[in-house]
């Protein structure tokens, strides 16, 4: 997923170019807008307009913006699970799996430099609501838990710490790449992270 159009199609579970149903189009538009504009700035009317659905039609599928946010989080979580399962299917060793995930992060460097990490930005924004546990926290826990499994398979006693460090390195680089509008920050970080994985 290297551009917004591909992200919209993939997140909604539909191949690029195929006409989607109204709910799928609304969800794809919501994923895109919440990433580009943020949760607070995005309205149901914005989502309807982007999805080319009458505004009244939104309420048939989503009664409130909170329903939209919940659906977007669930869609992101499903995409993360599917992506991790695909990596496991294509790569046999834990090192190769970790490096494949890092390479996947880096492949989105242009999108991230423009809008930030899709998962990191929604987690950060929802955290500002000061609830006890952000509903988006699962978007960080899923890849971290998976990374920890890979490090444990490599025999690392500090697998939990290594997983947190990898995620922190990626999210920190994503933030810098976005702030400085420089995608090379993320690709450079990916190379360094992969060298560290090779050295294990």
**d(C-alpha 142, C-alpha 200), whole Å:** 23
Instruction: Give the pLDDT score at 8.
Output: 41
> Domain range for residue 9?
4-61
Summarised one tens digit per residue, pLDDT across range 28-44 is 999 999 999 999 999 99
- Mean of pLDDT values over 95-100: 98
CB-based contact 121:185 (threshold 8 Å): no
Q: Cα(7)–Cα(197) distance, rounded to whole angstroms?
A: 28
CA distance 28 to 132: 28
In 3D, which of 197, 168, 172 has the Cα closest to residue 185? 172
Whether 77 is in a domain gets the answer no
One DSSP character per residue, 109-138 reads HHHHHHH--HHHHHHHHHHTT--SS-GGGH
Any domain includes 41:
yes
CATH (domain of 169): 1.10.357.10
CATH code where residue 31 lies: 1.10.10.60
Share of the chain above pLDDT 70, in %: 89
Instruction: Look at the chain and report how many structural domains it folds into.
Output: 2
Q: Cα(171)–Cα(174) distance, rounded to whole angstroms?
A: 5
For 115-149, the pLDDT digits (tens) are 999 999 999 998 877 666 778 899 999 999 999 99
* pLDDT at residue 17 in the model: 45
pTM: predicted TM-score of the whole model, two decimal places: 0.86
Residue 67 lies in a domain: no
54 and 96 housed in the same domain? no
Q: Is residue 85 part of a domain?
A: no
| Residue 64: CA count within 13 A, CB half-sphere | 4
**What does the DSSP 8-state code read for residue 64?**
S
Token pair for residue 132?
């006890």
Q: What is the pLDDT of residue 1?
A: 34
Domain assignment of residue 118, yes or no:
yes
Cα separation, 41 vs 121, whole angstroms: 13
Domain check: are 135 and 42 in the same one?
no
Supply the mean pLDDT for the chain.
Answer: 90
CB atoms under 10 Å from CB of 56, counted, come to: 8
How far, in Å, CA of 130 to CA of 108, rounded? 30
How does residue 18 score in pLDDT terms, banded at 50, 70 and 90?
A: low
Asked if residue 110 belongs to a domain, the reply is yes
């Amino acid at each position: 997923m290297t551009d917004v159009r591909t992200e919209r199609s993939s997140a909604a579970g539909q191949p690029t170019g195929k006409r989607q149903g109204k709910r799928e189009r609304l969800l794809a538009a919501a994923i895109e807008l919440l990433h580009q504009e943020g949760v607070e700035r995005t309205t149901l009317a914005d989502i309807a307009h982007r999805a080319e659905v009458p505004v009244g039609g939104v309420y048939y599928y989503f009664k409130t913006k909170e329903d939209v946010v919940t659906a977007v989080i669930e869609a992101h979580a499903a995409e993360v699970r599917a992506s991790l399962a695909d990596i496991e299917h294509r790569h046999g060793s834990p090192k190769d799996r970790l490096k494949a995930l890092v390479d996947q992060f880096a492949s989105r460097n242009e999108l991230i430099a423009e809008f930030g990490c899709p998962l990191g930005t929604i987690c950060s924004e929802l955290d500002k609501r000061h609830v006890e546990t952000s509903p988006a926290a699962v978007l960080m826990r899923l890849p971290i838990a998976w990374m920890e499994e890979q490090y444990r398979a490599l025999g690392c006693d500090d697998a939990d710490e290594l997983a947190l460090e990898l995620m922190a390195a990626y999210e920190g680089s994503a933030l810098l790449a976005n702030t400085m509008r420089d995608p090379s920050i993320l690709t450079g970080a990916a190379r360094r992270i992969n060298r560290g994985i090779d050295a294990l």
